[in-house]
């Protein structure tokens, strides 16, 4: 089963959300349902980046790596690089 590391962006919040999942479509739907938590206050999250991994451990490691950057600019560069 492939695992996706993904980055969502909210125009309302002008923020990124980084996560991993085995079912990306369902996960994006859940992020856009108003609820508690970081993504729950708005429902305009769009997928701006995705990587796939065969192993869950690899996806978790990559998610942690991207989150460790703590730099909006570095995340934007990753997204831009992927879109070119």
Domains of the chain by residue range: 3-83
- pTM greater than 0.85 (yes/no): yes
Selection from 31, 33, 34 nearest residue 16 by Cα: 31
* Helix boundaries (H) for 14-83: 24-31, 56-69, 72-83
Under 8 Å between Cβ of 34 and 45: no
Q: What is the pLDDT along the chain (84 residues), one digit of tens a residue?
A: 899 999 999 999 999 999 999 999 999 999 998 778 888 888 999 999 999 999 999 999 999 999 999 889 999 999 998 776
Give the N- to C-terminal CA distance of the chain in Å, as an integer. 28
Q: Which CATH number is 3-83 given? A: 3.40.1440.10
């Amino acid at each position: 089963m492939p695992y996706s590391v993904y980055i969502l962006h909210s125009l309302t919040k002008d923020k990124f959300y980084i996560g991993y999942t085995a079912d990306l479509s369902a996960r994006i739907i859940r992020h856009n349902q108003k609820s508690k938590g970081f993504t729950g206050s708005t429902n305009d999250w769009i997928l701006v980046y995705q990587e796939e991994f065969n192993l869950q451990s690899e996806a978790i490691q990559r998610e942690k790596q991207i989150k460790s950057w703590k730099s909006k600019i570095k995340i934007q560069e990753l997204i831009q690089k992927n879109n070119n």
